[in-house]
């Protein structure tokens, strides 16, 4: 059996006296889609920020594909194959959709300390960027400035940026947040097609999406993993029903 793609061991994070991550241990296998659900304020985004390197944990370790990345800066984690999307859309607003994705391709193909020659005429980069855009349904929107895309399109663009990085592990922080019904369905379709190609950690409030996509689910409350297991087991876990799913699953 291969190493797990992500191995989080006894992770703690305190902001002063506030405990946000309280001994989280979690592993995600190769190609697994692992969902993390939990009420608002449970520490889901903080967990993702620690995995992607934007926040340093107080204690504990994070392993990516056998490499200890606990103290590594975000850009080096990205170079190891860690990609993420943000809950609050985070793209380069003044760049075209194509250029947003092209930068992600560029980051992983050769040096960027090149000062001559136009980057936007690099065919290999543009082709890779266009195919990532096509995968999320933005093939026709490449030339649009990101700030002018609709909200749903920006969500899709985030996904395209992550795909273009050729990830080994993709962290998805509420990829459907704020998207309409139709847009959510489209994103679920895209994720379903991506499933198995690389490991994913999905934080999402849309339970339809979570139960449709996840191989395993962990429930996070007050910074702690309450339960972890196959969707059916989690759905019927009495603790989970009491703490979180209760009213929603009626």
Partner 1 sequence: MGRTTVAASSAMPARQTNRVEALPAAIFLVLALIPAAALIGPESYVLGLFTRVMIFAIAALTLDFICGYGGLVSFGHAAFVGIGAYAAGILGAHGITDMLVTLPAALLVSAIFAYLTGTVCLRTKSVYFIMITLAFGQMAYFIAGSLAPYGGDDGLTVRLRSTLFGFQVLQNDRALYYVVLLSLLGSYLLCRSVVYSRFGRVFRGARENSMRMATIGFDVFRYQRVGYVISGTIGGLSGFLLANAAEFVSPAYMSWQRSGELIIMVLFGGLGTLHGAIIGAAAYLLIEEVLGGFTEQWKLIFGPLLVIVVLFARGGLLGLAGSIRGRLNRG
Among 114, 151, 192, 197, interactor with partner 1 by CB under 8 A: 114
Maximum separation of any 2 CA atoms in the chain, in Å: 62
What are 27's two structure tokens? 């592993």
Q: Is 99 in the site for partner 1 (CB under 8 A)?
A: yes
Question: Using CB under 8 A, which of the segments 9-17, 56-64, 94-102, 180-188 binds partner 1?
Answer: 94-102
Nearer to partner 1, 80 or 243 (CB): 80
Q: Is 75 in the site for partner 1 (CB under 8 A)?
A: yes
Contacts of 122 by beta carbon, 8 Å cutoff, 6+ apart = 102, 106
Question: Using CB under 8 A, which of the segments 15-23, 117-125, 223-231, 233-241 binds partner 1?
Answer: 117-125
Expressed in angstroms, the distance from the first to the final Cα of the chain is 39
What are 48's two structure tokens? 């993702």
Residue ranges with strand state E in 112-229? 169-173, 199-203, 216-221, 224-229
Nearer to partner 1, 199 or 214 (CB): 199
What would the x/- binding string for partner 1 be over residues 7 to 46, using CB under 8 A? ----------------------------------------
9, 27 Cβ separation under 8 angstroms: no
Q: Is 112 in the site for partner 1 (CB under 8 A)?
A: yes
Question: Using CB under 8 A, which of the segments 71-79, 197-205, 206-214, 241-249 binds partner 1?
Answer: 71-79
Q: Nearest distance from residue 72's CB to partner 1, in Å?
A: 12
Among 91, 191, 194, 217, interactor with partner 1 by CB under 8 A: 91
Question: Residue 7: exposed, middle, or buried by beta-carbon count in 10 A (0-12, 13-18, 19+)?
Answer: middle
Residue ranges with strand state E in the chain? 6-15, 18-28, 33-37, 59-64, 67-68, 82-85, 169-173, 199-203, 216-221, 224-229
Among 59, 79, 230, 233, interactor with partner 1 by CB under 8 A: 79
């Amino acid at each position: 059996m291969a190493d797990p793609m992500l191995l989080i061991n006894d992770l703690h994070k305190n902001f002063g006296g506030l405990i946000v991550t309280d001994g989280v241990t979690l592993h995600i296998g190769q190609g697994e889609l692992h969902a993390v659900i939990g009420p608002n304020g449970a520490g889901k985004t903080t967990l993702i920020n620690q995995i992607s390197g934007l926040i340093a944990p107080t204690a504990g370790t994070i392993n990516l594909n056998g490499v200890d990345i606990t103290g590594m800066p975000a850009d080096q984690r990205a170079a190891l194959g860690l990609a993420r999307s943000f809950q609050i859309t985070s793209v380069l607003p003044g760049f075209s959709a194509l250029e947003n994705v092209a930068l992600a391709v560029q980051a992983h193909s050769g040096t960027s300390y090149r000062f001559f020659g136009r980057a936007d005429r690099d065919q290999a980069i543009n082709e890779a960027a266009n195919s990532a855009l096509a995968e999320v349904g933005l093939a026709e929107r490449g030339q649009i400035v990101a700030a002018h895309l609709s909200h749903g399109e920006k969500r899709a663009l985030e996904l395209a940026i992550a795909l273009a990085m050729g990830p080994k592990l993709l962290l998805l922080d509420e990829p459907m947040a704020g998207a309409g019904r139709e847009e959510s369905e489209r994103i679920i379709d895209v994720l379903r097609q991506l499933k198995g190609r690389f490991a994913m950690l999905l934080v999402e409030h849309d339970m339809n999406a979570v139960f449709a996509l996840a191989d395993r689910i962990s429930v996070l409350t007050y910074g702690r993993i309450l339960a972890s297991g196959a969707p059916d087991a989690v759905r019927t876990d009495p603790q989970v029903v009491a703490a979180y799913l209760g009213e929603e699953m009626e």
